Amino acid sequence: MRFTLLAVLFATACSGSSTPTQAPSETAQGKAERLQIGSLEAFALDDGYIVEPNDGKAFVLGHTSEAAEVLAAAGLPSDKIRLDVQVLLVKAGDHVILFDTGAGAFIPTAGHLSKSLALAGVEPSAVTDIFISHTHGDHVGGLVTKAGALAFPSATIHMSAPEWATFRADPDADAKRLVAAIEAKVSAFEPGAQVLPEVKAVATQGHTPGHSSYEVSSGDDKVFYLGDVAHHSVLSVQRPAWSIQFDHDHAAGEAMRQQTLAQLASDHTRVFAVHFPFRGVGHVVAEGQGLVWKPE
Ligand SMILES: [Zn+2]
Could you read off the pLDDT of 16-67 as tens digits, one per residue? 333 344 444 444 679 999 999 999 999 999 999 999 999 888 777 788 889 9
- CA 240 / ligand 1 centre spacing (Å): 16
Q: What is the DSSP letter of 30?
A: -
Q: In percent, how much of the chain has pLDDT > 70?
A: 91
Contact of 230 with 204, CB cutoff 8 Å = no
Q: Give the model's pLDDT for residue 3.
A: 53
- CA 204 / ligand 1 centre spacing (Å): 14
58's CB contacts (< 8 A; 6+ apart) are 9, 13, 52, 81, 244, 245, 246
Q: Give the model's pLDDT for residue 60.
A: 76
Q: Give the model's pLDDT for residue 20.
A: 40
Q: Give the model's pLDDT for residue 29.
A: 74
Do the bridges between strand 95-99 and strand 129-131 make them parallel or antiparallel, or are there none, so unpaired? parallel
Question: How many separate domains does the chain show?
Answer: 1
Amino acid of residue 95: H
In this structure, what CATH number is given to the domain that contains residue 253? 3.60.15.10
- CA 227 / ligand 1 centre spacing (Å): 7
Rounded Cα distance, 213 and 205, in Å: 9
Residue stretches of the chain with pLDDT short of 50: 1, 5, 7-27
Q: pTM of this prediction? A: 0.92
Rounded Cα distance, 47 and 27, in Å: 7
- CA 207 / ligand 1 centre spacing (Å): 10
Instruction: Domain of residue 62: give its range.
Output: 2-15+24-295
Q: Give the model's pLDDT for residue 28.
A: 62
Q: Give the model's pLDDT for residue 19.
A: 37
Q: CA-CA distances (angstroms) from residue 159 to 144, 180, 183?
A: 16, 15, 11
- CA 101 / ligand 1 centre spacing (Å): 11
- Say what the alpha-carbon torsion angle 190, 196, 202, 207 is, to the nearest 10 degrees: -80
